Structure 1
Amino acid sequence: MSRPRCPACLHPPSTCLCDLVRPVRSRIELLILQHPLEELQAKNTARLLHLCLAPRSELLVGEQFGPGLLDPARLSGAALLYPGEGDGPWPRGWQPSRLVLLDGTWRKSRKMLALNPSLQALPRFSWAGPAVSRYSVRRAQRPDQLSTLEAAALALQELDPGIQGLDDLWRAFDSLVSRLAERRHRG
């Protein structure tokens, strides 16, 4: 029998994140594709990001998404926020209407990208300039490997100068990291 979970953040009641949720208003929508093994993780920044950007955010859980889920209408005007070959800074004057993010370990996200050809066809970008992760509760191979929330926040900051609530999103993220570190320390 599984233990009870908050219906919004999917955490157990003792670690519920809902008090951290602050509304963020952006013109750019997010489509977060989350690997199934990430959905119930305590370090789930994608869920916090999704809740803060609702209703301009959609979170789908899976590894391979059929054409009905990643149809041309849903991906129209979208860009994939994912580092790799051929990525670069946003072209001047171009603004996607939707950012697609892959949430999972690097290995899992590469597999998700490989299994979904419609994602491979999207323009692919990452943020301009080096970024150093503030996500101290997880191991990364390099300091510029960001959590899903960090990557989205940096991209939205660059793409949507009219965004409202971005500072609150960063505070929510920092609070999550502090809580996770405290729990780890108590251990």
Structure 2
Amino acid sequence: MCDSRPPPADGDDIAACAPQSASAVASSVDGDAVAIDTVAPGEGSGITTLPSGEPEAWHGRHPRREFKARGSQVIRCEACRLPRLNCLCPYQVTAESRIKFWLITHPLEHYKPTNTGRLISDVLAGTEVFSWYRVEPDPRLLALLEDERYQPFIIFPDDQPDYADRVVDVNAIAGVGADVATHTASGEARIPVFILLDGTWRQARRIFRKSPYLDGLPVLPLHTQRLTRYHLRKPASEAHLCTAEVAAELLRQAGEENAASVLDDYFDAFNDCYRASRIHYVLEPTAPMRRLLARRDATAGES
């Protein structure tokens, strides 16, 4: 864990530990309980959407677990998974970034409607989502890790000595102060990739420790004093950022201010829409929502 505080109790979801210049790990604080019974795809009111782009061979590997926590009977939008009372779809805006995100997601996270990792996919079209299985890594991920067009960085705290030699800072993206390849053998610039571990703190640690194919990657800790704005579940500390907040902060520190601002606004819209729906309140457009609508109008006017 970050600094000297003890880790949260098992099952507490953490996206990042970033108090006063400490490190951050990207996993999610977002999540509600998931029932242990199984259902066939499409039955009941469960959330059973698979990650987009997942190969046909992987279909059926996810536990068919129905979302039965508080609010499971709410009528939800099929696209954004939020209650239709305050649908998020009108505020979805895409942004361009030279940074790519690959999310390694614990299977149970796919069924949590409060998961914020999927917000990254909504905003950044090149985002890849992979399900994590300890003994059978996703072949798509393995292929991409071998692709010299990309320079991946795994986002994880720098709090353990056994991988200290792999730790870099954000300047490594530009090849400053670190032995990181920024160009391919043919001289083309490599595309920086941030790998986020999307799950509870225990799940993120397990993914990091039990995935040998990640062992050779540079580790990029997030140092920030930003506090979380996530309202859907009380974190162990205000310094624990959720997955989308981690991604936005990483974009900002890498110089991708426009993409960071769009993701921040989209996260705020998601946060407020979901919170308002929990108390059956129809939300009027907030400032972040109005900015997103203005971006959509501007984009439509250019096309």
TM-score range, shorter chain: 0.7 to 0.9
Aligned match of 1:24: 95
Question: 8 Å contact 1:81–1:126 — kept in the other structure?
Answer: yes
Kindly report the root-mean-square deviation, in angstroms, between the aligned alpha carbons of the 2 structures. Answer: 2.7
d(CA) in 1 for partners of 2:195 and 2:131? 13
1:88 Cα deviation (Å)? 5.8
Aligned match of 1:89: 169
SS of structure 1 residue aligned to 2:274: helix
d(CA) in 2 for partners of 1:146 and 1:102? 13
d(CA) in 2 for partners of 1:162 and 1:106? 27
d(CA) in 2 for partners of 1:119 and 1:7? 34
Aligned match of 1:2: 44
Candidates 136, 152, 158, aligned match of 1:78: 152
Q: Give the counterpart letter for 1:107 in structure 2.
A: R
1:67 Cα deviation (Å)? 6.5
Question: 8 Å contact 1:89–1:128 — kept in the other structure?
Answer: no
d(CA) in 2 for partners of 1:130 and 1:146? 10
Aligned match of 2:197: 102
d(CA) in 2 for partners of 1:36 and 1:84? 26
Aligned match of 1:128: 223
Aligned match of 2:129: 59
d(CA) in 1 for partners of 2:248 and 2:147? 21
SS of structure 1 residue aligned to 2:258: coil
TM-score under structure 2 normalisation?
0.53
Gaps of 5+ in 2: 1-42, 48-76, 176-181, 183-190, 282-303
Aligned match of 1:141: 236
Q: Give the counterpart letter for 2:203 in structure 1.
A: K
Question: 8 Å contact 2:168–2:218 — kept in the other structure?
Answer: no
SS of structure 2 residue aligned to 1:2: coil
Task: Answer yes or no: is 1:179 the counterpart of 2:273.
Answer: yes
1:51 Cα deviation (Å)? 1.5
Q: Give the counterpart letter for 2:232 in structure 1.
A: V
d(CA) in 1 for partners of 2:110 and 2:157? 22
Distance 1:4 1:143, change over 3 A: closer
Distance 1:185 1:120, change over 3 A: farther
SS of structure 2 residue aligned to 1:170: helix
TM-score under structure 1 normalisation?
0.82
1:12 Cα deviation (Å)? 6.4
Aligned match of 1:33: 104
Gaps of 5+ in 1: none
1:80 Cα deviation (Å)? 0.7
> Bigger shift: 75-84 or 147-156?
75-84
Aligned match of 1:113: 208
> Bigger shift: 89-98 or 122-131?
89-98
1:135 Cα deviation (Å)? 1.0
> Bigger shift: 74-83 or 146-155?
74-83
1:107 Cα deviation (Å)? 1.4
